[in-house]
Amino acid sequence: MKLGIVGLPNVGKSTLFNSLTKAGAESANYPFCTIDPNVGVVAVPDERIKLLGDLYNTKKVTPATIEFVDIAGLVKGASKGEGLGNQFLANIREVDAIVHVVRCFEDTNVVHVDGSVDPVRDIETINLELIFADIEVLERRIAKQGRAANNDKKIAKEVEFLKKVIKHLEDGNLAIGFSCSDEDEEAWLSSYNLLTAKPVIFAANVSEDDLADDGASNEHVKKVREFAKANNSEVFVICAQIEQEIAELDDDEKAMFLEDLGLKESGLDKLIAASYRILNLMSFLTAGEDECRAWTIKIGTKAPQAAGKIHTDFERGFIKAEVVNYKNLLECGSLAAAREKGLVGMEGKDYVVKDGDVILFRFNV
């Protein structure tokens, strides 16, 4: 899973990115790796694989991971070359979802680029740049397909579809809200990889005082939540400054620090939960003496496709999946004991994998 972090200058975007990726480096078995200065990989905290690792006395525990991309250069006028211009486009096109950091704190020492704190205005500023960039992509596509449309009905149909999407965007709407009328249109829209077609999670960056009630008394946060609800987006409340402090702590210190603040989870935990929800994801597990591991898949994935996440040969030669819920496995103490109690199922190609399934795949290539 790859998440792109966007936001106007001085909203806390880089502070959040640095704290999230440092958290990944300090508290996870999965090594933090810097792919380049603005990309970091963070482990998804998952108590289940730690417990399974203890059960199997495993050599290696491997969590699922999220790749964060700090997308610079996205400012008002970026589509016309302001800031870093369109340099942000290459990075943002590849992400699964966008984490949009919006400023919801007042601080006279931190200048806002537009002179005042107004998160909905900021959101619309960024959205407008993404819309402009998408229109440019679609217009190039029309220019490419235009001549061939005279002799090919399918291409002509696509050109008309492109014009409809452009009109939708020109009216200030995002591509994610565009209604396709058939499978052709759905396939085309997906193939364009439009920026405004990506799901969005809003990170409402607040002061420490607003953290305890999850921003409930902050008028800026209320507006962000209303905007997000109208646009089928997720919202989580964060204090980037506090996240930076949490990132310096080990697990025990972190738990005490969060308790002192009256918080149940860190901003990173909230973000991971929101990203799994908005992308319709879950994890299944594999366990053994060599490795216990979490694998991220779409909800509704069937057993052979889940096997393919591990290796394409597993999917190609899939025979059966031996499945047990991780709680049952932990309670029984071993796979053999779980089998004896009838808690292990032998599942075929139509089995839909559930969150927390521990699976042993049988295959033959």
**How many Å apart are CA 304 and CA 363, to the nearest integer?**
10
Task: List pLDDT tens digits, range 73-125.
Answer: 566 665 565 554 455 666 678 889 999 999 998 877 665 666 678 999 999 99
Q: What are phi and psi of 306, to 5 degrees?
A: -65, -40
**How many Å apart are CA 260 and CA 44, to the nearest integer?**
24
Burial (Cβ within 10 Å: 0-12, 13-18, ≥19) of residue 260? exposed
pLDDT at 32 over 60: no
309-336 average pLDDT score: 95
Task: List pLDDT tens digits, range 129-170.
Answer: 889 989 999 999 999 887 777 788 888 999 999 999 999 999
228-251 average pLDDT score: 87
Nearest to 117 by CA among 228, 244, 234, 221: 221
62-75 average pLDDT score: 81
The pLDDT score that the predictor gives to residue 123 is: 93
The pLDDT score that the predictor gives to residue 48 is: 95
pTM (two decimals): 0.83
Task: List pLDDT tens digits, range 240-291.
Answer: 888 888 888 887 888 898 888 888 888 888 888 899 999 999 999 999 999 9
Chain center to CA of 284: 17
Chain center to CA of 275: 4
- How large a percentage of the chain has pLDDT more than 90? 56
216-231 average pLDDT score: 93
**How many Å apart are CA 148 and CA 155, to the nearest integer?**
7
- How large a percentage of the chain has pLDDT more than 70? 88
7-31 average pLDDT score: 65
Q: Which DSSP helix (H) or strand (E) runs through 364?
A: none
